[in-house]
Amino acid sequence: MQQDQPIIDVDNLTTAFGTHVVHKDLNLKIFPKEILSLVGGSGSGKTTLLRQILGLDRPRAGVVSVFGRPVHDYVGAERIALTRRWGMLFQAGALFSALPVFDNIALPLREMHHLPEDLIREVVLMRLSWMGMTARDAALMPSDLSGGMIKRVALARALALDPELLFLDEPTAGLDPQRSDEFCELIRALHRELGFTVVMVTHDLDTIAALSTRVAVLAEKKVLVEGTLEEVMKVKHPFLDAFFHGERAVRAFGVANPKEAKNGKS
Ligand SMILES: Nc1ncnc2c1ncn2[C@@H]1O[C@H](COP(=O)(O)OP(=O)(O)OP(=O)(O)O)[C@@H](O)[C@H]1O
């Protein structure tokens, strides 16, 4: 996987707000077809890093390249074309409450202006079928939907333009454990089928364990550790100890650490 050119290349990034330095010489490469989880404590700069990758903020130093070019080099029509190559699923689902499911999913397609309505209909219904939903669901309003359905409609919209890159911000937040597992399975199946690259920010260990092909840990203003979940969990660091071996780990993995399991504790 990693012999490919990176889809995202964060090179010596320094980000600061006034005198508050959030990232210092941060490096991260994200390769095609990965599901990379960005984890880190509150305030470690995960959201800010996502904004840098999306080109919404300018770094104090360093370069973020996306699809082989500095993200700030894409301007005008090229920037619009770039934003069509990625999809985003925001934490709250962020559906337009006044629009039915159909129009919510159709939105990115209609923003392209020239697509005929029968093609838009075909694409929307196909995206709904990917989500296990039907044409009848297309007429529902967001207020008629369960939390799990809102996530699926938001995912259908994020995938409307068949993006190469999908950003997920706390994708399972607000879902009960069963719905959360189902949503992870859906993302996994679509990733397998469609082969897009995923960059995910989440605090949820179950989601990290279910989906990540690689984990990057933000701490001390940089990517402190990166690797598979197993590799990252072996590293000794106060944040990693608390994150991967604390109470949440007991819920996600059954035990906080394997020795306790042998001693019969949980
Ligand atoms: N526009 C801004 N102006 C000033 N400070 C900011 C701005 N955006 C972020 N920060 C600061 O940068 C730091 C990193 O914030 P960020 O939201 O990226 O962290 P995070 O890792 O996503 O946190 P959380 O897990 O709590 O969402 C925080 O201290 C935050 O207060």
One digit per residue, pLDDT tens: the chain, 266 residues? 455 799 999 999 999 999 999 999 999 999 999 999 999 988 999 999 999 999 999 999 999 999 999 999 999 999 999 999 999 998 766 899 999 999 999 999 998 878 889 999 999 999 999 999 999 999 999 999 988 899 999 999 999 999 999 999 999 988 999 999 999 999 999 999 999 999 999 989 999 999 999 999 999 999 999 999 999 998 988 888 888 877 766 666 665 554 443 343 33
Quote helix, strand, coil % in the chain, to nearest 5. Answer: 40, 25, 35
- 26-48 burial, b for 16+ CB within 10 Å, e for fewer? bebbbbbbbbbbbbbeeebbbeb
Q: How many residues in total does the chain contain? A: 266
Task: Confirm or reject: Cβ of 46 under 6 Å from ligand 1.
Answer: yes
The 3-state secondary structure of 119-170 reads HHHHHHHHHHHHCCCCHHHHHCCHHHCCHHHHHHHHHHHHCCCCCCEEEEEC
Q: Do strands 8-17 and 20-30 pair parallel, antiparallel, or not at all (unpaired)?
A: antiparallel
**SS3 call for 37:** strand
> If phi over 0 gives left and psi between -120 and 50 gives alpha, with beta otherwise, what is residue 12?
left
Centre a 10 Å sphere on the Cβ of residue 202 and count the other Cβ atoms it contains.
21
Cα–Cα distances (Å) from 120 to 107, 111, 115, 128, 194, in that order, read 9, 11, 7, 12, 19
C-alpha triplet 159, 163, 166: angle, nearest 5°:
75
Q: Whose CA is nearest to atom 16 of ligand 1?
A: 45
- Ligand 1 atom, smallest distance to 18 CA: 4
Please state the atom number of ligand 1 nearest to the C-alpha of residue 15.
Answer: 12
Residue 44 Cα to ligand 1 middle (Å): 7
Of 16, 50, 23, 21, the residue nearest 221 (C-alpha): 23
56 alpha carbon to ligand 1 midpoint, in Å? 14
Cβ–Cβ under 8 Å, residues 199 and 9: no
Q: Is the backbone of residue 76 left (phi > 0), alpha (psi -120 to 50) or beta?
A: left
Closest ligand 1 atom to Cα of 218: 21
Query: What was the ipTM of the complex prediction?
Result: 0.96
104 lines ligand 1 (CB under 6 A): no
Distance 133 CA to ligand 1 centre (A): 36
Q: What is the pTM of this model?
A: 0.89
Nearest CA to ligand 1 atom 10: 17
Residue 246 CB-half CA count within 13 A: 11
Q: Is the CB of 148 under 6 A from ligand 1?
A: no
Of 159, 199, 212, 215, the closest CA to residue 7 belongs to 199
Cβ 17 under 6 angstroms from ligand 1: yes
> Rounded to an integer, what is the distance from CA 63 to the centroid of its chain?
21
Determine if ligand 1 sits within 6 Å of the CB of residue 19. Answer: no
